[in-house]
């Protein structure tokens, strides 16, 4: 499926906690759309120039460049430049420049896509690291409950020890008074 400028402009993304900044994403998509429109205009202009040159040359061996107007950027392959062509088969300078521009644009596009994928992976990894694990939260809750229970048992043991010591002292006092 070829990606069009309209598809990019109309694309909506779901928002999540700690997700991408929607304004920043929209601005980047707008830049991509502008670049695509500019590239499509350049391609159309070059095609028209090629047709005009072909018409001027009569039945010359020029053929339209094999680029679909709505083809995704990743599917565009740079056209090979042939080195030792006879003078009559050589492409005009503006077409050669267009091919070189297309090759540079393809390389730049590939680099930007690779950088974007790497950045996306880093952001996803960072987000996953920041998201708390539900099992860990359950264990923390259980730990707090156990600590509260231990504190309660310690206070009850201390109260029991004080009562027991008090009872022993009372019994000791009773025994001492009965003996004397």
| pLDDT tens-digit series, residues 57-93 | 765 444 544 544 444 444 444 444 444 444 445 556 7
Q: Residue 132 and residue 108: Cα distance in Å, rounded?
A: 38
Report pLDDT for 150.
Answer: 93
Domain ranges of the chain: 5-131, 135-180
Nearest to 39 by CA among 97, 107, 101: 101
pTM: 0.31
Rounded CA gap, 93 and 86, in Å?
14
Find, among 61, 65, 127, the residue nearest to 95 by Cα. Answer: 65
**Residue 30 to residue 143: CA distance in whole angstroms:** 50
Listed as ranges, residues in the chain with pLDDT below 50 are: 60-62, 64-65, 67-88
- Least Cα distance to 116 among 74, 69, 75, 67 occurs for 74
Q: Where are the alpha helices (DSSP H) in the chain?
A: 5-10, 22-57, 93-130, 134-179
């Amino acid at each position: 499926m070829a990606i069009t400028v309209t598809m990019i402009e109309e694309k909506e993304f779901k928002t999540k906690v700690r997700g991408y900044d929607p304004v920043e994403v929209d601005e980047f998509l707008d830049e991509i759309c502008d670049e695509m429109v500019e590239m499509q205009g350049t391609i159309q202009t070059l095609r028209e120039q090629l047709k005009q040159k072909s018409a001027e040359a009569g039945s010359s061996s020029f053929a339209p460049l094999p680029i679909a107007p709505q083809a995704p950027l990743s599917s565009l392959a740079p056209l090979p430049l042939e080195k030792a062509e006879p003078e009559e088969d050589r492409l005009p300078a503006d077409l050669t420049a267009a091919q070189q521009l297309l090759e540079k644009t393809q390389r730049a596009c590939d680099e930007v896509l690779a950088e974007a994928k790497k950045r996306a992976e880093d952001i996803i990894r960072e987000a996953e690291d920041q998201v708390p694990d539900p099992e860990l939260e359950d264990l923390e809750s259980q730990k707090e409950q156990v600590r509260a229970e231990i504190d309660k048992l310690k206070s009850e043991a201390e109260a029991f020890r004080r009562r027991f010591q008090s009872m022993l002292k009372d019994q000791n006092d009773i025994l001492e008074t009965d003996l004397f």
